[in-house]
Amino acid sequence: MSGLAFLIPIALGMGLLGLAGFFWAMRKGQFEDLDGAAQRILIDDEEEDEQ
Amino acid sequence: MNAPVPLDTFDAAVLKDTRFTVPGMRCAGCIAKIERGLADLPGVVSARVNFSSKRVAVRHDTSLGEQALVEAIAAIGFEAQAVADNPLARDDKETRTLLRALAVAGFGMMNIMLLSVSVWSGAGGVTRDLFHWLSALIAIPVVAYAGRPFFASAAMALRHRRTNMDVPISIGVLLAVALSIYETATGGEHAYFDGAVMLLFFLLAGRALDATMRDKTRAGIGALLSRMGRSATVLDADGTSRTVSAQDLEPGMLMLVPAGEALAADGVVEEGASTLDNSMLTGESAAQGVAAGETVYAGAINLGNPLNVRVTAAASDTALAEIARLMDEAGQSRSQYVRIADRASRLYAPAVHSLALLAFIGWMLAGAGVYQSLVIAIAVLIITCPCAMGLAVPAAQVVASGALAKRGLLVKDGSALERLAEVDLALFDKTGTLTLGEPVPRLDHLSPDQAGVALALARNSRHPLSRGISGALERQGVVAAPVEHIREQGGRGVVGVLGGVEVALERPESETATLSTSLRIGDAGVIIAFADPVRSDAQEVVRVLAQDGIESRIVSGDRAASVEGVARDLDVAWQAQLLPDDKLALLEGLKSAGHRPLMIGDGINDGPALAAAHASIAPGSASDVSQQAADAVFLGKALMPVSLAVGVARRTMRIVRQNFAFAILYNVVALPIALAGMVTPLIAALAMSLSSLVVVGNSLRLARAAQ
């Protein structure tokens, strides 16, 4: 029973963290260009473009 | 990670953001080419492609004009157009609200389920009460947040004394939460927080799918729009010129219309002689010659020389605006179309309400207490609440429209798919729809020398016929002859000198029935004829449609002679020389005769017909008006997406009906259990997730429908 006292807050906290992450990603426009994100992985890095 | 590196050499104060639409982007290579090509341009700080909406956002120095950027993108190999703002107002706010609500509901559902599993597996006494309290703590804010889309819509319906699907959902969720709080406070055995939140989650998933589908298509079509003349160059009395947007043009102003531009207002030619392409307005494929004193209409494209046009009617008075008005009226009937989900919920909502009420009264009469009867009535509301129903339609339509989009057909919304499935007659416009709408020259009879001269002359002109010739010759690998002193002569053509001999690409001396131009070297002339070829798979499309029981016809604004030839090739019935009103009347006639016509057209003159038809499709090269009026837009040179759309729409409706049948079957099974008062939170949760999964799984079968 005493275990629950910290296990439940931890579980809830992790859920809230995920939720906050999703909200953040949405506000930052991470879902604006899903097709583009899928394509960009295929672009070769050019020498002068390497970061 | 492939984002261009911003340079710090520019002062932020003189930087400007401009957005361009580039409909031609198709692959990862295009993204890289555009972003790198633009970033290499002096004055450009950064360029970022949004592939989904086919746009490029460029941050650049103010000294670099829009035109220079468009030309730079053209040099990279893409047609671009600057956009002031999205012509289809960007209202993805609804999708964002739904996604946020969905995320919150998902969070709540998982955490409450975590606690509920312990209760189901036997937690009792203080632990159970604690878990119920914790569930309440999570569920109340989650329902308050995630339920808003439903509560708002239900409140709206009730205010107008109507009922919709959201009314039983809202009542069910609110009652379930209220009852669960009461249960928790009195230390009761069952709490339905999990059921209430899960219901919201699945329903929100359906809504979010529906909204995402509309947004995606809107972005795709928005990229194609606004390629037509929205502004004009106006010459003031003192000789200065300025750019005026189409709405601000007034009768009496003098417009300068350069070659290649569309007229922004109706007017009378004051100076200059040229040829106009009226095909968007009338469907007539041959260009029309105009001289001073003649009336010209907004939407026509100037093919030849610059014209000075005195505006006689602007903005809402133009012939173009008259067509837009016709379209508005024609579109009325379509907005009255009731979607299948709404038709189902009209029957469903009252049935669920009466059943829950009957359950309450029945159990009261049978001697159960108010509390017991209320619990059973709420159980009926929760378990019959349309999880599967809410997903039945959107899940199938989203999968289908995704499959169609991969094949180059953008369907605007679910209602369009439903109407496409019902058509029984296909009406095709000719120019630009059955044909490609661009003149293709026949060049086989040219000698290599002639071809070289033709290329040298043609590539120095913006006339569409010249561009057709230069494009075709360049593809053949012809090398241009060293022609000198090339100049474009008003109304005649392009003239130059090759080794002391005058060469010209000019209007043929005798008027011919087909579009043609004459190549003259010294005194020897050779005629280059143009044809607007029928799309290569048109015959196949007509055949496939016929297999589906759909008869095809041609309705065109073009001359009878040119329509007849195409119709004979395709072996279909035809009507020619139809004005926009005629097409509209024809469609109204067909509709009142009980037909459900599908209209496929591209011109502005097809706009009213596209809006009036039961369903409509426009090619990606169509005018803005037509694309906005049409239910779907297809890209590329093939006509096949048209027959594909009808086929996939019909399969989608079959899947939707199966989904409904399953949802009803589920209710038939679950309802007696609920009425008998045997629904525990565990059963409700299992039943809801199972039915939703079956419906989604069934819909996924459509993913390969368009192959």
Q: Is there a single domain that holds both residue B505 and residue B550?
A: no
Please answer yes or no on whether A43 and B29 come within 8 Å at the CB atom. yes
Q: Is there a single domain that holds both residue B632 and residue B550?
A: yes
**Has residue B386 been placed in a domain?**
no
By CA distance, what is A27's nearest residue in B? B96
What pLDDT score was predicted for residue B88?
44
Q: Is there a single domain that holds both residue B638 and residue B558?
A: yes
Point out which residues pair with B20 in neighbouring strands: B56, B82
Please answer yes or no on whether B31 and A39 come within 8 Å at the CB atom. yes
User: What would the two tokens of residue A37 be?
Assistant: 């994100």
**Has residue B636 been placed in a domain?**
yes
Q: What is the interface pTM, i.e. ipTM, of the complex? A: 0.82
Q: Is there a single domain that holds both residue B116 and residue B77?
A: no
Residue in A44, A49, A51 to test binding to B, most B beta-carbons within 10 Å: A49
What pLDDT score was predicted for residue B105?
94
Rounded CA separation B413/B422 (Å): 15
What pLDDT score was predicted for residue B133?
92
Interface of A with B in 5-34 (CB under 8 A): 8, 11-12, 15-16, 18-19, 22-23, 26, 31-34
Is residue B429 part of the annotated active site? The answer reads yes
Please report, for residues A31, B82, B95, B96, B205, the alpha-carbon distance to residue B102 in angstroms, rounded to integers and kept in the order given.
15, 36, 10, 10, 7
Residue B41's domain spans which residues? 12-83
Sequence-separated (6 or more) residues with CB below 8 Å from residue B381: B168, B171, B172, B175, B176, B352, B356
Q: Is there a single domain that holds both residue B258 and residue B113?
A: no
What pLDDT score was predicted for residue B228?
46
Q: Is there a single domain that holds both residue B64 and residue B101?
A: no
Long-range contacts of B111-120 (CB under 8 A, 24+ apart): B111/A11, B111/A12, B111/A15, B111/B138, B112/B138, B112/B139, B112/B193, B112/B194, B112/B197, B113/B194, B113/B198, B113/B685, B114/A11, B115/A8, B116/B193, B116/B194, B116/B681, B116/B682, B116/B685, B119/B191, B120/B681, B120/B682
Number of domains in chain B: 5
Sequence-separated (6 or more) residues with CB below 8 Å from residue B81: B20, B21, B70, B226, B227
User: Could you give the 3-state DSSP secondary structure of residue B270?
Assistant: strand
User: Could you give the 3-state DSSP secondary structure of residue B488?
Assistant: strand
Q: Is there a single domain that holds both residue B120 and residue B195?
A: yes
Query: A-chain residues within 8 Å CB-CB of B114?
Result: 11
User: How is residue B410 annotated by DSSP?
Assistant: E
Point out which residues pair with B48 in neighbouring strands: B57
For residue A16, the distance in angstroms to the closest alpha carbon of chain B comes to 7
What pLDDT score was predicted for residue B617?
92
- Per-domain boundaries in chain A: 2-43
Q: Is there a single domain that holds both residue B141 and residue B177?
A: yes
Active-site residue (options: B129, B194, B266, B429): B429
What pLDDT score was predicted for residue B101?
94
Rounded CA separation B133/B618 (Å): 57
Q: Give the gyration radius of chain B's Cα atoms.
A: 32
Q: Is there a single domain that holds both residue B179 and residue B255?
A: no
Q: Is there a single domain that holds both residue B105 and residue B68?
A: no
Q: Is there a single domain that holds both residue B117 and residue B105?
A: yes
Query: B-chain residues within 8 Å CB-CB of A19?
Result: 103-104, 107
For residue B103, the distance in angstroms to the closest alpha carbon of chain A comes to 7
What pLDDT score was predicted for residue A51?
41
B337-352 burial, b for 16+ CB within 10 Å, e for fewer?
eebbbeebbeebbeeb
| Per-residue pLDDT reduced to its tens digit, A12-21 | 899 999 999 9
What pLDDT score was predicted for residue B224?
59
Chosen domain end from B531, B554, B584:
B531
For residue B54, the distance in angstroms to the closest alpha carbon of chain A comes to 9
**Has residue B516 been placed in a domain?**
yes
CB-CB neighbours of B286 under 10 Å:
17
Q: Is there a single domain that holds both residue B145 and residue B249?
A: no
What pLDDT score was predicted for residue B260?
67
Interface A–B counts its CB contacts (< 8 A) at 63
Sign for the pseudo-dihedral over CA of B632, B634, B639, B641: negative
User: Could you give the 3-state DSSP secondary structure of residue B84?
Assistant: coil
pLDDT block averages, 10 residues each, chain B of length 707: 47 71 78 87 86 82 80 81 55 81 93 88 84 92 93 89 78 88 86 87 86 72 56 76 75 80 82 76 71 82 79 72 70 68 76 86 88 84 74 86 84 86 90 80 82 83 74 81 76 78 78 70 82 84 91 86 84 86 87 91 82 88 76 85 91 91 85 82 79 87 80
Residue in A1, A30, A33, A42 to test binding to B, most B beta-carbons within 10 Å: A33
Rounded CA separation B124/B686 (Å): 21
Write the CATH number for B34.
3.30.70.100
Residue in A12, A26, A27, A34 to test binding to B, most B beta-carbons within 10 Å: A12
Sequence-separated (6 or more) residues with CB below 8 Å from residue B695: B388, B391, B392, B395, B659, B662, B663
**Cα B506-B512-B518 angle, rounded to 5 deg:** 20
What pLDDT score was predicted for residue B227?
46
Taking the whole predicted model, whether its pTM rises above 0.80 is answered as no
The better pLDDT of the pair A33, B222 is held by A33
Rounded CA separation B216/B219 (Å): 5
Query: B-chain residues within 8 Å CB-CB of A41?
Result: 28
Chosen domain end from B164, B189, B204:
B204
Tell me the HSE value of B218 on the side-chain side, using a 13 A CA sphere: 16
